[in-house]
Chain A
């Protein structure tokens, strides 16, 4: 039956909402008044990394943007509008950029970089997906991966990607503006990796406003 998976979701939603109301009758009506999450999660669309499930979070906890390979491009209105709204209208205190092991997008970029180096794929037709991944492919081409196993190379790409996207976020207008203003609400930017094999989040990097000159 084509709609089986959909009907399952709708039934599960009904049971879930009823169980919440039984335990906490005003949960939804209170939440309908407004949101006040402290966290913006920028992560991968991968089905194995549902941000609220893996952090046991409730509706209202995490403002979220998920895309292929957890990118933050400075010319992407989608991610920029999320960050702008999250920092300025919603008032989040932490932006977490979350990559993960076994990322299909990262693996595709690794392959594309190898193909470009071997010149086996002279001209690929340009598609939204190839355009979307081209900054990461470019970055991979500058990595030294020749002595890495396939698994090590992918992990190195996943981590490099997290650092790269955190750098982009820290250069964005909402963050640079917040950090330049000593009276603005404190916003911290984190780079995390979710390890699928352990179900665990590891922090790679954490960046904050600096009010002294030229800190690294």
Chain B
């Protein structure tokens, strides 16, 4: 058999065709129904763009389950219209009940931020260094002295998750939702690349008021 040059994009379209056919075989109305009604996912996933952490695959979810936003190092910056518009739209009109902020082991963005922090203060000069600037500043507040590299990365991965959860809880969509009694839960998760397992680090919700 001759070796044809691989075209990953064509492969994806072919795989999509097979997948769609397999779904229709089991459930002929799946796609028609999906198109007829608005989406009603209960979960918004804010995670990393890393190819190894596809939200719906690692949670064995179906189309319709998870509203998703991914970027380098699973950031939620208060001044970022991109993430803020996703969170705003996710809370209302989509009506998610949970926001999960998902970091992961071995994150390339975290590794880059640790290296940049060690290199000393440099004026951010391109979109990637500007994007990582808040994370670099976070790294500088942590004591990583004497830690082997993988432990330092793990420490920053976790600190990053806690920080982004704080940012989300302080955001206008969540503050507004909670003020209106809409108890959207905000979770911080870490995905371990080596085991494929998600672990919950923290969960925040509407502070309960004693009546």
Residues of A whose CB lies within 8 Å of any CB of B are 2-3, 5-6, 9-10, 12-17, 20-21, 27-29, 31-32, 35, 37-39, 45-68, 71, 76-82, 84-86, 89-90, 93-94, 96, 101-102, 104-105, 127-129, 131-133, 188, 190, 196-201, 203
Contacts and interface: CB of A to CB of B under 8 A. Distances in A.
A85 B56 contact: no
Nearest to B90: A45
Interface string B67-90: 111111001000011111110111
Given A2-B185, A5-B98, A17 B51 contact: no
B150 to A, nearest CB: 10
B52 to A, nearest CB: 5
A107 B105 CA distance: 38
Interface stretch (B10-18, B114-122, B140-148): B10-18
Report the interface size class on chain B. 35 or more
Nearest to A3: B185
B19 A59 contact: no
A16 B60 contact: yes
Contacts of A198: 20, 31
B82 A78 contact: yes
Interface of B: 7-9, 12-13, 15-20, 23-24, 30-32, 34-35, 38-39, 41-43, 49-72, 75, 80-86, 88-90, 93-94, 97-98, 100, 105-106, 108-109, 126-128, 130-132, 183, 185, 187, 193-198, 200, 205
A199 B23 contact: yes
Interface centre among B35, B49, B82 (most CB of A within 10 A): B49
B20 A200 contact: yes
A84 B54 contact: no
Contacts of A21: 196
Contact of B58 (A59, A64, A201): A59
